[in-house]
Amino acid sequence: MLDLDLLPGEYAVCRLPAGSALPATLSRGPDDKSVVSVTWAPDETSIICPAGLVPPDASAETNWRCLRVVGPLDFALVGVLASLVGPLAEARVSVVTFSTYDTDYVLVPTVRLADARDALTRAGHRITE
């Protein structure tokens, strides 16, 4: 069983060309309740951010809600994401995941949030807002 926080507001999953610099709109970091993740990969720069911070030149998929596993998590833990993604897959809820040093995050489509909550609660997880 995991404790999850539902972060406020909607999120976007964005794509910029490979090698793109961090957009100025994200250089100050998120506020106290939101999270931003930037991944520079050989083929793209991916950004997960609050929907209101989407870089102007980015391709973006919006309307995601973000669940944060209450952490910090011990690196020896096994199956944390599997315990979340498995029930969501069974409920046919799409996900985007990312991890930080302390914890894991799962994004679900806003239109499927109720289904995601039901699936995760049935699996024994607790969700707070």
Among 100, 104, 64, 60, smallest CA distance to 83 is for 104
Average pLDDT value over all residues in the chain: 90
Instruction: Label residue 39 by pLDDT band (50, 70, 90).
Output: very high
User: Is residue 21 within 8 Å of residue 54, measured between CB atoms?
Assistant: no
Report the alpha-carbon distance of residue 82 to residue 88 in Å, rounded.
Answer: 10
The 10 Å Cβ neighbour count of residue 96 is 17
The 10s digit of each residue's pLDDT in 13-28 is 999 999 998 888 887 7
Instruction: Label residue 114 by pLDDT band (50, 70, 90).
Output: very high
User: Average pLDDT, stretch 120-129?
Assistant: 94
Query: How far apart, in Å, are the Cα atoms of 105 and each of 22, 42, 81?
Result: 21, 23, 9
Which backbone phi and psi does 8 adopt, to 5 degrees? -70, 150
pLDDT of residue 99: 92
Q: How far is CA 101 from the centre of its chain?
A: 14
Domains, the chain, ordered by start:
3-128 (3.30.2130.10)
pLDDT of residue 129: 86
The 10s digit of each residue's pLDDT in 53-94 is 999 899 999 999 999 988 765 666 555 778 899 999 999 999
